[in-house]
Structure 1
Amino acid sequence: MANWNNLDTLKSFQNLFNISNVDIAEEMAGTNGADRVKKYSVPMAAGLSFNYAAKEVNDEILDALKALATEAELSEKFEALYNGEVINTGEKRLVLHQLTRGQLGNKVVADGVDKREFYLNEQKKIAEFANKVHAGEITNAKGEKFTTVVQIGIGGSDLGPRAMYLALENWAKKNGCFKMEAKFISNVDPDDASAVLNSIDVAHSIFILVSKSGTTLETLTNESFVIDALKKQGLDASKHMIAVTSETSPLAKSDNYLQAFFMDDFIGGRYSSTSGVGGAVLSLAFGPEIFARFLDGAAAEDKLAAEKDLLKNPAMLDALIGVYERNVLGYDSTAVLPYSQALSRFPAHLQQLDMESNGKSVNRFGEPIDYVTGPIIFGEPGTNGQHSFYQLLHQGTDIIPLQFIGFKNSQLRNDVDIQGSTSQQKLCANVAAQIVAFACGKEDDNLNKNFEGGRPSSIIIGDELTPEALGALLSHFENKVMFQGFAWNINSFDQEGVQLGKVLAKKVLAHETEGALTEYAKLLNI
């Protein structure tokens, strides 16, 4: 059994404060910087690599982080997780999202069910259904093929699957495996559903309702919106809808759906892109084979996360560098900066993944802690961000660590040569320049033009954003968040912080309010 202790009780953590800080501007200058770029890199799955040369670390700090990983028993805790121990202490549940893409350890049985077999069976059912839709065996009431799939869900039922779909949409079109356009309805704002419904051919659309409990207010509201739109066109809504839900939800055996696919309580929404939550929409959009390749990339990266040597485990290494930045250097934010337009919604997904998981101020036993935990996560794809918030990143009063993601080749391979270089080369030149500019800065007697440098960053580099690379990226960040939660001794797998607002909103709608809540309800004409 692993020992669960607060970070500030670990001797290895206290030792980090006795090590001199690294001057990254000095370290990254000249030939020394070139040597660091070659040295401080670790392979990832699917041809990716994690380069942390521009982080404020050296061999002494890395040795100290190794000691922290050992004392905090990070590898042992991951083993306990994938072997089926109850890691989600808040809800007294297992944590099994890695099991949707591979078997890392022992067979996991819960409620008398082999959970790996359960997930594989659901994937098989989804694949069969998607293939029948693509073959025209499952059609609309007129016997016509569906051309669009619309996912109705919120939070993890939207952010992850939407980010994954957008990441592979152009790749699929280029590689001849684009089957159906996907759209997403998430916000309870009626303008969201209206905009989507006005942009599609409703008669040739199939809708996926995603709700584990079958009672999610926003999702059921949007379902009613969609059903109304179908009925107005004289269509039988039950011939256009499927559900992804739990076996015990009211949706599971309803006649309102063509078919129901199942998830369980052992996978949180923000970790559900490799379950049926992402599997149904991605299999319909691109085909089950592409979803399987996505899972393969995630599974390969999960295996690296089980590596005990910190310097061969990119997720754990990234995590502990982040803990060092947060708890020793005192940085409170992290910017995620993908230099790939396909990853335009990836920072939004990581924002939920990280902040909903590690935004905690009590440990896994419900006791207050005396140190900071999860950072604020934000980001935009490059080079758009350069013309937005990079000013603050370069010359603002706060130092914000940066996580770049870049690819040597574009997905579409459709480029032009302008002024001696292609667009992709210009994109890659920008990310390389930004890393060095942030780290090294530039001296100028005019302080308005002076760049102090010393702004740390890492970069994940790949050849091309393929399904395997996307799966590996997703797994890397999921496992990074997990390891940081282990180090902070918090529960990264519940989210009580999202509940209070929901409870109060129901009181407003039931007109059971008082005080300020009553007055705000009046102001909003409720």
Structure 2
Amino acid sequence: SDLGPRAMYLALENYARQKGMLRMKAYFISNVDPDDAYGVLNGLDLSETLFILVSKSGTTLETLTNETLVRNMIKDAGLDPAKHMIAVTSKTSPLANSKDYLDSFYIDDYIGGRYSSTSAVGGAVLSLAIGGFVFDRFLQGASAQDGQARERDIRKNPPLLDALIGIWERNVLGYATTAVLPYAQGLSRFPAHLQQADMESNGKSVNRFGEPVNYKTGPVLFGEPGTNGQHSFYQLLHQGTDIVPLQFVGFSTNQGNLDFEVKGSTSREKLCANLAAQIVAFACGKDDENPNKRFDGGRPSSLIYGDKFSPEALGSLLSHFENKIMFQGFAWNLNSFDQEGVQLGKKLATQVLSGECTGALEAYSKMFIKR
């Protein structure tokens, strides 16, 4: 998946730019929709572009389709694709040691895409774009938080404590949804990555022994950075009929050196003021004679707050949520490291493309594909 590496790169892009460490700008192509590739490739100088092909199995249809498209464009530009592409894959994949790539980097077979940001998958793009030493600092932050996840005292184990709070909200209070709300623009794609990591890991209705469960498992997760989310879906969070637990993330300082004062306060101060205001508003609410303006409050929230939004902080934040997901999987007795739910659609799509489909699948395929 590109969600993790994309989220990590975007989280550090402004930091690297402000420090003068941004070596290369990274773009991502993941959707098999050709408009995704077109939107990225149009306007790029291919002679100065390096492509990173990421596929653990080396057989992922979407990835190989986009690779073929890219190779053809490189050839059309009079260039050698082998000099403009590297591969990140497993040692057992068809891509391993191929002469079609400038170089190959390897990930272990047991690492799923949603947990690969700290592997060569994230390492390749972050090291090339920002620098290997920055990626190393990112790993140091993740490692430090992994150490905390091994702490036996729950009061000193933030991921475990967070996991148990989430289980209480899901299984005791019956809340079906969680919102992750980072008050940091660098984390604009972090909720999307967590959405995949959490829902693909613990969105299961059978336990790790293949037996049906009779309790609720992973919640629906979504999010958007503040203050943007305040002007889109916070209305439902404040006054909707369903209570949605909230996870806020914030930092004391911004990554860039751009800040200015308007009407007596800086942009950073306004952002932090909104974060404080939302936490209190969700918790305490506000009474009013007009029911339309009444806020019941009682919306539970947690806060992860740091001083500087650094590579170490990002690694620690990622590790926190990965370990939280793992602990919840343990508690629910799930296999948080498979994703059988994505396989059926792939098989049916293969049938459609081969023309070997009947019934409703055939009817829909004729509607969408004009042969």
Please state which band the TM-score falls in when normalised by the shorter chain.
over 0.9
- Alpha-carbon displacement from aligned partner over 1:80-120 (angstroms, at most 9, x marks no partner): xxxxxxxxxxxxxxxxxxxxxxxxxxxxxxxxxxxxxxxxx
Instruction: Provide the secondary structure at the position in 2 that maps to 1:163.
Output: helix
1:345-356 to 2 correspondences below 5 Å = 345-356=189-200
- In 2, the alpha carbon distance for the partners of 1:414 and 1:199 equals 28
2:151 to 287, 295, 307: 307
Q: Which residue is equivalent to 1:142?
A: none
**Which amino acid in structure 2 is aligned with residue 245 of structure 1?**
T
Aligned residue identity for 1:168: L
Instruction: State the secondary structure of the residue aligned to 1:458.
Output: strand
Write the letter of the residue equivalent to 1:285. Answer: A
SS state at 2:21 partner: coil
Per the alignment, residue 382 of structure 1 pairs with: 226
SS at match of 1:183: coil
| Residue deviations 1:228-275 (CA, integer Å, cap 9, x gap) | 110111001011000000111111121110111111212111000000
Question: Which of these residues, 157, 163, 167, is aligned with residue 11 of structure 2?
Answer: 167
| Offset at residue 517 of structure 1 (A) | 0.3
- Residue matched to 2:264: 420
Mapped partners of 1:525, 1:291: distance in 2: 43
- For 1:515, the aligned partner's letter is G
CA–CA distance in structure 2, aligned partners of residues 196 and 369 of structure 1: 43
Deviation string, structure 1 residues 350-381 (Cα, Å, up to 9, x no partner): 00000000000111111111000000000000
Q: Which amino acid aligns with 2:7?
A: A
- Measured in 2, the distance between the counterparts of 1:356 and 1:214 equals 21
Q: Which amino acid aligns with 1:248?
A: T
Name 1:237's counterpart in structure 2: 81
Deviations 1:273-305 (A, max 9, x none): 000010001000001000000000000000000
Q: In 1, distance between residues paired with 2:45 and 2:324?
A: 41
1:252 equivalent in alignment to 2:104: no
The amino acid that maps onto 2:58 is G
Report the Cα distance in structure 1 between the residues aligned to 2:305 and 2:197, rounded to whole angstroms.
21
Q: Where does 1:264-413 land on structure 2 (aligned, <5 Å)?
A: 264-413=108-257
* Cα distance in 1, alignment partners of residues 84 and 151 from structure 2: 45
Name the residue aligned to 1:491: 335
Matches within 5 A, 1:223-234: 223-234=67-78
Listed one character per residue, the Cα deviations across residues 181-215 of structure 1 (whole Å, up to 9, x for unaligned) are: 00000000000001110142111000000001100
Query: Counterpart of 1:129?
Result: none
Q: Describe how 1:66-105 pairs up with structure 2 within 5 A.
A: none
* Number of positions where the alignment pairs a residue of Structure 1 with one of Structure 2: 370
Please tell me the residue identity of whatever aligns with 1:205: T
1:510 aligns with 2:359: no
Once residues 283 and 517 of structure 1 are traced to their aligned partners in structure 2, the CA distance between those partners, rounded to angstroms, is 44
Per the alignment, in what secondary structure is the counterpart of residue 32 of structure 2?
coil
State the one-letter code of the partner of 1:266.
Y
* Alpha-carbon distance in structure 2 between the residues aligned to 1:450 and 1:338: 26
Structure 1 residue 482 corresponds to structure 2 residue 309: no
Cα RMSD over matched residues? 0.6
- The one-letter code of the counterpart of 1:485 is G
Structure 2 counterparts to residues 11-160 of structure 1, below 5 A: 155=1, 158-160=2-4
What is the deviation of 1:525? 2.1
Amino acid corresponding to residue 419 of structure 1 in structure 2: K
TM-score by length of 1: 0.70
Tell me the equivalent position of 1:200. Answer: 44
Cα distance, 1:482 vs. partner? 0.3
Deviations 1:56-92 (A, max 9, x none): xxxxxxxxxxxxxxxxxxxxxxxxxxxxxxxxxxxxx
5 Å matches for 1:426-465?
426-465=270-309
Deviating beyond 6 angstroms after TM superposition, the runs of 4 or more aligned structure 1 residues are none
Matched position secondary structure for 1:184: coil
Give the distance between the partners of 2:103 and 2:220, measured in 1 at CA: 39
Q: How many angstroms apart in 2 are the aligned matches of 1:240 and 1:432?
A: 48
Q: 2:345 aligns with which of 477, 495, 501?
A: 501
Alpha-carbon distance in 2 for matches of 1:264, 1:231: 32
Residue equivalent to 1:176: 20
d(CA) in 2 for partners of 1:200 and 1:427?
35
What secondary structure does 1:223 align onto? helix
Aligned to 1:220: 64
